[in-house]
């Protein structure tokens, strides 16, 4: 049972990561229009701490793109 739960949690972690990327894709036009991206940089740190690699990469790209 423990192994199955661990596998389920790993899968949910991947789903969360992909979900963040999808949400960022939907909001990308709005993000590009922002002048102050400090709040997004704060969120980037949280995403890094959660080890959501795909979401981190996508948000970093959106923040640094002008």
Token digits for 29? Answer: 């036009």
User: What digits encode the pLDDT tens for the residues 20-57?
Assistant: 999 999 998 888 888 888 888 899 999 999 999 999 99
Enumerate the domain spans of the chain.
2-64
Q: What is the pLDDT of residue 59?
A: 93
CB 63 within 8 A of CB 42: no
Q: What is the pLDDT of residue 6?
A: 96
Cα–Cα dist 46/28, whole Å: 19
Distances (CA, A) of 65 to 16, 30, 56: 24, 13, 14
Q: What is the pLDDT of residue 54?
A: 96
Q: What is the pLDDT of residue 13?
A: 97
Residue 66: pLDDT above 90? no
């Amino acid at each position: 049972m423990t192994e199955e739960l661990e596998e389920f949690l790993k899968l949910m972690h991947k789903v969360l990561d992909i979900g963040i990327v999808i949400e960022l894709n939907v909001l990308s036009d709005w993000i590009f229009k922002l002048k102050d991206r400090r709040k997004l940089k704060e969120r980037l740190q949280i995403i890094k701490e959660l080890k959501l690699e795909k979401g981190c990469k996508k948000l970093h790209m959106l923040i640094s793109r002008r």
